[in-house]
Amino acid sequence: MSSAGIGRRSLLGAAGAAAAPHLAWAKALPKVAIHTAKGTIVVELESGRAPITSANFLHYVDTQRYDDGQIYRASRTPGMAPGNGSIQGWPNPISGRRYPPIAHESTTQTGIIHDAGTISMGRYGPGSATADFFICASREPYLDAHPDPADPYHQLKDNLGYAAFGHVVEGMDVVLKILALPTHGKVFVKEMQGQILTHPVPILTMRRA
């Protein structure tokens, strides 16, 4: 083979090697289909940017802990147009075993903000998240970490926000449909008044897509 041919092959090989990490990154993002009684929501997990939170969610999915769970909460943003807010789900509240809590990956650490379609983890204190997840139907900046403790939008006293770890790629219409359902259910804490679904939406199964 001529030196020119070898050179061309070398350049192609180098280009392929340079592209390989990008292709591997694209293929590495797992997807999960959340099959509910109101339709299917497919989420893509940012396993590279939020590895701890993504792995934890997949652990529950792969061990079928979310099967027969519920989307039980529809939190509509006060004073905003319909379609603003989030929905929240969990494993079966009676039989759904939970694994140990995980370390908190804040939005300042991952760069994943709470935008329309973002999936994130519910928690109390930092490092307390287990299986409760929520999906934003709209931009929810007050759920992000806020460096300024005087920021009027921050929800948590620790100011670290919630751990966003992926986004909806199919089924935002299902998210909006659930968000619009009646919320006259019994509350667990007073802050959830008017946010608990009258009839929780069953999670039939969750599987990798």
Separation between Cα atoms, residue 167 and residue 165, nearest integer Å: 7
In this structure, the strands spanning 31-36 and 133-136 are unpaired
Cβ(136)–Cβ(120) below 8 Å:
yes
Q: Give the other-Cβ count within 10 Å of 121's Cβ.
A: 24
pTM of the entire predicted model: 0.84
All domains of the chain in start order, with CATH: 29-208 (2.40.100.10)
Alpha helices in the chain (DSSP H): 3-28, 51-62, 107-110, 172-179
Per-residue pLDDT of the chain (209 residues; tens, 9 = 90+): 544 444 444 444 444 444 454 554 456 899 999 999 999 999 999 999 999 999 999 999 999 999 999 999 999 988 788 899 999 999 998 888 899 999 999 999 999 999 999 999 999 999 999 999 999 999 999 999 987 665 554 556 788 999 999 999 999 999 999 999 999 999 978 888 899 999 999 999 999 99
Asked if 29 and 43 touch (Cβ cutoff 8 Å), the reply is no
